[in-house]
Amino acid sequence: MIALTLREVADTVGGELVLAGSDVESTTVSGEVHTDSRKAGPGSIFFALPGEVTDGHLFASSAVENGAVLAIVERMLDLPVAQIVVPDGVAALADLAREVVARVRALGSLRVVAVTGSNGKTTTKNMLRAILEREGPTVAPFGSFNNHVGAPISMLAVDEQTRYLVVEMGASAIGEIASLISIVTPDVGIVLKVGLAHVGEFGGPDAVETAKSEMVTDLPESAVAALNVDDPRVARMAGKTRARVSWFGLGEGAEVRGSDIEATAEGTAFTLHVDGAERRIRLRILGEHHVMNALAAITAARALGVDAERAADALESLARAARWRMEVQPREDGVIVLNDAYNASPDSMAAALKTLAQIVRPDQRSVAVLGEMAELGDLADEEHDRIGRLAVRLNIRKLVVVGHAARHIHNAAGLEGSWDGESVLVADADEAYDVLRDELRPGDVVLVKSSGSAGLRFLGDRIAGVSE
Mean model confidence pLDDT for the chain: 92
Residues 179, 104, 190, 172, Cα dihedral to 10°: -30
Q: What separation, in Å, do the N-terminal and C-terminal C-alpha atoms of the chain show?
A: 29
> What is the architecture, at CATH level 2, of domain 327-464?
Alpha-Beta Complex (3.90)
Q: Is 119 annotated as a binding residue?
A: yes
Q: To 10 degrees, what angle do helices 380-393 and 346-359 make? A: 10
Residue 198: pLDDT over 60: no
Q: Is 54 annotated as a binding residue?
A: no
Q: Are 316 and 281 in contact (CB under 8 A)?
A: yes
pLDDT by residue (tens digit) across 153-172?
Answer: 999 999 999 999 999 998 77
Q: Is 193 annotated as a binding residue?
A: no
pLDDT at 203: 60
Q: Is 35 annotated as a binding residue?
A: no
How far, in Å, CA of 163 to CA of 104, rounded?
Answer: 9
Q: Nearest 5 degrees, angle CA 168-CA 171-CA 173? A: 165
CATH T-level topology, domain 4-86? 3.40.1390
Residues 116, 121, 127, 128, Cα dihedral to 10°: 30
pLDDT by residue (tens digit) across 115-144?
Answer: 999 888 989 999 999 999 999 999 998 766
pLDDT at 107: 94
Residue 195: pLDDT over 90: no
Q: Is 348 annotated as a binding residue?
A: no
Q: Is 123 annotated as a binding residue?
A: yes
DSSP state of 204: S
> What's the average model confidence in pLDDT over 41-56?
91
Q: How far is CA 290 from CA 258, 285, 338, in A?
A: 11, 7, 15
What b/e readout covers 47-81, taking b as 16+ CB neighbours within 10 angstroms? Answer: bbbeeeeeebbebbbebbebebbbbbbbeebebeb
pLDDT at 416: 81
Residue 468: pLDDT over 80: no
DSSP state of 50: B
Q: Are 456 and 352 in contact (CB under 8 A)?
A: no
Write down the domain spans for the chain: 4-86, 92-317, 327-464
* Three-class SS of 409-431: HHHHHHCCCCCCCEEEEECCHHH
φ/ψ of residue 55, rounded to 5: -130, 125
How far, in Å, CA of 341 to CA of 348, rounded?
Answer: 10
Q: Is 120 annotated as a binding residue?
A: yes
pLDDT at 287: 87
pLDDT by residue (tens digit) across 63-85?
Answer: 999 999 999 999 999 999 999 99
Domain 92-317: which CATH number of 3.30.310.220, 3.40.718.10, 3.40.50.720, 3.40.1190.10: 3.40.1190.10
What predicted TM-score, i.e. pTM, was given to this entire model? 0.85
> What's the average model confidence in pLDDT over 46-62?
91
DSSP state of 56: G
pLDDT by residue (tens digit) across 209-238?
Answer: 898 999 999 899 999 999 999 999 999 999
178 pLDDT band, cuts 50/70/90, is very high
202 pLDDT band, cuts 50/70/90, is low
φ/ψ of residue 220, rounded to 5: -75, 170
DSSP state of 377: G
Helices (H), 339-467: 346-359, 380-393, 407-414, 429-439, 456-464
How far, in Å, CA of 121 to CA of 146, rounded?
Answer: 9
Residue 176: pLDDT over 60: yes
pLDDT by residue (tens digit) across 330-373?
Answer: 999 999 999 999 888 898 899 999 999 999 999 999 999 999 99
How far, in Å, CA of 47 to CA of 34, rounded?
Answer: 6
pLDDT at 114: 96
pLDDT by residue (tens digit) across 272-288?
Answer: 999 999 999 999 998 88
> What's the average model confidence in pLDDT over 258-271?
93
How far, in Å, CA of 105 to CA of 425, rounded?
Answer: 54
Give me the sign of the Cα torsion angle 79, 81, 85, 89.
negative
Radius of gyration from C-alpha coordinates of the chain: 23
How far, in Å, CA of 298 to CA of 131, rounded?
Answer: 8
Residue 457: pLDDT over 80: yes
* Three-class SS of 229-297: CCCHHHHHHHHHCCCEEEEEECCCCCCEEEEEEEEECCEEEEEEEECCEEEEEEECCCCCCHHHHHHHH
- The greatest distance separating any two alpha carbons of the chain, rounded to the nearest whole angstrom, comes to 77
Residue 400: pLDDT over 90: yes
